[in-house]
Structure 1
Amino acid sequence: MFVFDSELHHLKESFGPSNELIISLQRSNQHKTIDNGILSSTLQQEAEFLASYNYEKSTLWRKQIGYLYKSLIEDYFAGFILHCKEWKSIFCNPSRSAFLGSATSSLNDTLVQGTRWNCGLLEPFYSLPSWCLATVPQLCLINGISLYPKVSSPWFMNFSCIFLCSLLKHLLEVLNTGGSVLTWCSKQRIWMIKSITCYTYATIDAILKCFGMKQPCFSPTNKVSDDEQAKLHQLGKFNFHTSTKFLAPLVTLVMLNMIAFTGGIARMVISGGANELLGQVILSFYILLESYPIIEVMAWRKDKGQVPASVALLSFVLSIILLLLGSVVLRLI
């Protein structure tokens, strides 16, 4: 009896005072907890007790049990610690959803959340390749500098195959998990948007945090959608009603690629440099194709998600500055 009481006391110190939870941990719960899909009143009360804010106080929750706090990415951190303790994880994707939760409902909240996550993951240079891919080939194209192999070179096919295979691999993953081609396109666009925006700001935050110049903070996000937002989602449209710090880099790079694509086509027609510059022209075209939702809100959409005139003007100025700086640097090189 003393051993049982001691064990029970230890379990309650670790997992809290919920008797139902302790019983379930001991795998001796023989009660019928669900009747025709409806929880019993006792279990309902117990669930509310477990979900209360004060339940985890003076227990090992948050420290050794459940999600580990003191991190901007508590779920990732907890999973990492479990793997360090030799736990094994599997991909669980049942036909009936096992868990349902609320997600961010606007682009602004998604990018704020992404900034927090990537800062917590300490991936300070994840955005650098994306910025290089969106600017360096374009600036070289405008100045008539070839970066990729000539079309007549066998290496051009190698580059093309690697690029296409990476896209097809992602498409296959989306289709295998029940998605569609439209879902794949949206995921590609979201990845590009995040790479330029929240990954960049996460890089800055992570560097400042490493030097002790900024403390990590948890930025709350809204997960309530209004009627207009829901309507845009149903139509498959992006809502770019977001802060300038997120929107300006996107519009700036779209303008830069529009200038590069137009200038590259003109250069190939006038100077006949298709053999050297076709790869960079295709890259700019691909970026513009993926950026179609941004071009749409810049050009003709007049709803809540359109790009404000002030942001468009700021982005135009930034793209011109980027062009001038790029031209100066390339000439010096």
Structure 2
Amino acid sequence: MANEKSLPLYDKIWVKHTFSRTMDSLILLLLFLLLGYRIFLDDSNTFPFFVAVICESWFTFAWILVINTKWSPAYTTTYIDRLLLRVPEPELPSVDLFVTTADPVLEPPIITINTVLSLLALDYPTNKLACYVSDDGCSPLNFYALLEASKFAKLWVPFCKNYNIQLRVPFRYFSNNTNPANNDDSPEFIQDWRRLKKEYEDLCSKIMNASQNSIPLIGEFAIFSDTQLRNHPTIIKVICENKGLSDELPHLVYVSREKKQEHPHHHKAGAMNVLTRISGVMTNAPFILNVDCDMYVHNPKIVQHALCILLDSKGEKEVAFAQCIQQFYDGLKDDPFGNQLVAKFLYLGGGLAGIQGIFYVGTNCLHRRKVIYGLSPDHHIRNGKKHHDITDERKRIFGSSKRFLESAANALEGKTLASNDNIWKYVEAAKEVGSSEYDYGTAWGKQVGWMYGSTSEDALTGLKIHTQGWRSETCSPELTPFMGCSPQDIISVMSQQKRWASGLLEILLSKHCPIFGTLFGKLQFRQCLGYLWVLTWPVRSLPELCYTLLPAYCIINNYTFLPKELGQWIVVTMFVIYNIATFVEYLRTGMSIRTWWNSERMGRITTTTAWFFGFLHIMLKLFGISDSVFEITKKEQSSMNEGAKENNGRFTFNNSSIFVPGTTILLIQLTALVTKLLGWEAPVRNGHGSGIGELFCCSYLVVCYWPFFKGLFGKGKYGIPFSTICKSVLLTLLFLYFCRAYE
């Protein structure tokens, strides 16, 4: 027994992807050969030649970042049985659960409450859990939904635990178990199942009716009577309180932080910091699990799996957070929008796990509270001091709340509140730290908590933690930890990708740039390159856009940008090897050929549209013309049949300018092809006119942008708006004028 207690709680296993390493290295070699050929052997001095050299230099740099990230993949294996030997269940640490939502329309309450119900039903002592739901929309509908859900939870949680139900989110459970009477289940189970299903249907009906009719703002809801979205006081409602008993529901607290129009609220980072302070005042658990409102618990033992990493003798000293991979339910067939990210998480996420650790992705993550409070691995707060008296310096960091200062000191020492402490008595203190002015003059968002300064607050916060010298680990048990919904239409995908690109570029151009983290902090060099791979996504849009236009420019002006003789075989070989390598990676993950192609196609489309607009947005912000806007991604429960899913995989369009670049690129490529086929290109100069290479590139791009071609002739939401087509035609004419003016 003693020997078993000394065994590690998790193992980290490195994987050698010999095929992937070989192919990636070969591609890099070919990129260097291509650049060498252009610089030393190609005597061309045309405009397309110089543009191609610049773009290919960037692609080479980007590929170095990719190889660095993928080179040494790793994964973890956790041992819950060893954890329980070392830490008996009654002694397991407390965990505060954070759920964030911001818009009851884009993030329907029924999705949020299903996530909350799955958290309340975790296979973990309920007196060790406290669930805080942040409602940044200050919606009485969300509060009403939580009240009703808490009543249902009193039946749902015991049902899940009594019958050892593994899938503990109602909307998925009941859709997957349509007729339990067909199984060999006991009569008691069937009776309870039918009762719970009826109760859940009633719950859904109540919430649906409440969303269609206004909720009377009386009693518990009176506080919502004089609130506006951006102007309201802090609202904290203790919906459920656990008295320290393991057979009761966990604490459930509704939070809507104070907002004033004259004060910045820092989007999701601000909401997370308020939850951190409020939970610190009320329960102060040493660990924090945060999930988005659509990310339900799929593995009820996920907290134990994550604690195996954080409580391990080595992990306790080095690991700041355990990050679970994002996975999605009811994904559209063959991933037509390329947003399931399965291969990226497996190969690039696994590669990061083999360096300093996977990035924090904003959800499905178990944090150490003391790390969020600024503690570094060598036990120094970021300002270089550590002491536990309530001093002026501590107030400067954490704010003036006496109650919170006491809880912060306890958290930094590894202490926690008693599990049966009455949280009602701390509501007023919690409202104080939920004030919109509480951050002012403190280190919140700068040195402690979730970092401000980017709409990608998750990447920035994780970067700051890694810069301190902490590691992170991927928590990937055999049973998927969490499941969520991914955007189901191209408009939502573009909005999400644009927000990511804007936030990532904000970090790259700020004082938090990972290069500074390596030079002046403890960010490992290879981890720095890994961050640069992600943070340069929006910058990549420029060389990719230029490279996309080169074939058409060359056909119209009868130039060539592709190397001749030996050089052309370098390009052909690289194109073939790259596609074989990525194709094999997708097959290894169990995905289809169509999924691979959709990912490649969307890579071209996303880079030249959403990422390009994200880049432009930050450039305008730097010049004071624009400001950051946090765009919420629409969440929806998928209940479509297969036919509806296939139809939903089609591109839909609206009047957003984000579709102009894609439409313009398509029109330019079509114009170039028509020019070539009709022989309207300019006369050949220097004996090097456009050839089959440029023709193939234009044709390939037309295939990539084929959804836009279909959109030109589509009707309704499947058709590109006339205004977008007009803008694209105008830009195409300007491109043709440029081609003729600068032959």
Task: Report the secondary structure of 2:674's partner residue.
Answer: helix
- CA pair 86-270 structure 1, distance change in 2 beyond 3 A: closer
Deviations 1:223-282 (A, max 9, x none): 237989985642473222233301222111101001112323444999999985211111
Structure-2 residue corresponding to 1:323 = 736
User: What is the alpha-carbon distance in structure 2 between the residues aligned to residue 253 and residue 325 of structure 1?
Assistant: 15
Structure-2 residue corresponding to 1:20 = 128
Contact 1:107 1:240 in 2 (8 A): yes
Contact 1:149 1:276 in 2 (8 A): no
Task: Report the secondary structure of 2:539's partner residue.
Answer: coil
Deviation at residue 288 of structure 1 after TM alignment: 0.8
Q: Is 1:57 aligned with 2:277?
A: yes
Q: Is 1:45 aligned with 2:249?
A: yes
Deviations 1:60-102 (A, max 9, x none): 8799439825231133223323433444455666664221122
- CA pair 90-181 structure 1, distance change in 2 beyond 3 A: farther
Deviation at residue 320 of structure 1 after TM alignment: 1.5
Deviations 1:130-150 (A, max 9, x none): 211221221121111111123
Q: Is 1:160 aligned with 2:572?
A: yes
Contact 2:653 2:717 in 1 (8 A): yes
Give 1:45's aligned amino acid: L
Structure-1 residue corresponding to 2:553 = 139
- CA pair 249-226 structure 1, distance change in 2 beyond 3 A: farther
Give 1:321's aligned amino acid: L
Structure-2 residue corresponding to 1:256 = 668
Contact 1:63 1:69 in 2 (8 A): no
Structure-2 residue corresponding to 1:102 = 485
User: What is the alpha-carbon distance in structure 1 between the residues aligned to residue 645 and residue 705 of structure 2?
Assistant: 17
Contact 2:127 2:248 in 1 (8 A): no
**Equivalent position to 2:462, from 46, 55, 79:** 79
Structure-2 residue corresponding to 1:111 = 494
Contact 2:669 2:702 in 1 (8 A): yes
Q: Is 1:283 aligned with 2:684?
A: no
Contact 1:146 1:277 in 2 (8 A): yes
Deviation at residue 182 of structure 1 after TM alignment: 0.9
Task: State how many pairs are aligned.
Answer: 305
Give unmatched runs, 5+ long, in structure 1. 1-10, 23-31
Structure-2 residue corresponding to 1:7 = none
- CA pair 275-139 structure 1, distance change in 2 beyond 3 A: closer
Sequence identity percentage: 22
Give unmatched runs, 5+ long, in structure 2. 1-92, 98-125, 131-157, 169-241, 257-273, 289-368, 374-448, 506-535
Higher strand content, 1 or 2: 2
Deviation at residue 283 of structure 1 after TM alignment: 0.6
Deviation at residue 125 of structure 1 after TM alignment: 2.2
Task: Report the secondary structure of 2:546's partner residue.
Answer: helix
- CA pair 128-224 structure 1, distance change in 2 beyond 3 A: same
- CA pair 76-63 structure 1, distance change in 2 beyond 3 A: farther
- CA pair 245-276 structure 1, distance change in 2 beyond 3 A: closer
Give 1:280's aligned amino acid: E
| Largest Rg, 1 or 2 | 2
Contact 2:560 2:688 in 1 (8 A): no
- CA pair 92-243 structure 1, distance change in 2 beyond 3 A: farther
**Equivalent position to 1:295, from 701, 706, 709:** 709
Indicate the RMSD between aligned Cα atoms, in angstroms.
Answer: 3.9
Contact 2:655 2:724 in 1 (8 A): no
- CA pair 56-139 structure 1, distance change in 2 beyond 3 A: same
- CA pair 112-230 structure 1, distance change in 2 beyond 3 A: farther
Higher helix content, 1 or 2: 1
Structure-2 residue corresponding to 1:8 = none
Deviation at residue 297 of structure 1 after TM alignment: 2.2
- CA pair 20-234 structure 1, distance change in 2 beyond 3 A: same
Q: Is 1:126 aligned with 2:534?
A: no
User: What is the alpha-carbon distance in structure 2 between the residues aligned to residue 229 and residue 199 of structure 1?
Assistant: 32
Task: Report the secondary structure of 1:97's partner residue.
Answer: coil
User: What is the alpha-carbon distance in structure 2 between the residues aligned to residue 230 and residue 120 of structure 1?
Assistant: 35
Task: Report the secondary structure of 2:693's partner residue.
Answer: helix
- CA pair 86-199 structure 1, distance change in 2 beyond 3 A: same
Structure-1 residue corresponding to 2:450 = 68
Q: Is 1:246 aligned with 2:658?
A: yes
Q: Is 1:188 aligned with 2:600?
A: yes
User: What is the alpha-carbon distance in structure 2 between the residues aligned to residue 225 and residue 323 of structure 1?
Assistant: 46
Contact 2:558 2:682 in 1 (8 A): no
Task: Report the secondary structure of 1:102's partner residue.
Answer: coil
User: What is the alpha-carbon distance in structure 2 between the residues aligned to residue 309 and residue 215 of structure 1?
Assistant: 29
Contact 2:666 2:702 in 1 (8 A): yes
The TM-score with structure 1 as length reference comes to 0.76
What is the correspondence of 1:170-249 to structure 2 with a 5 Å cutoff?
170-224=582-636, 233-235=645-647, 237-249=649-661
Give 2:249's aligned amino acid: Q
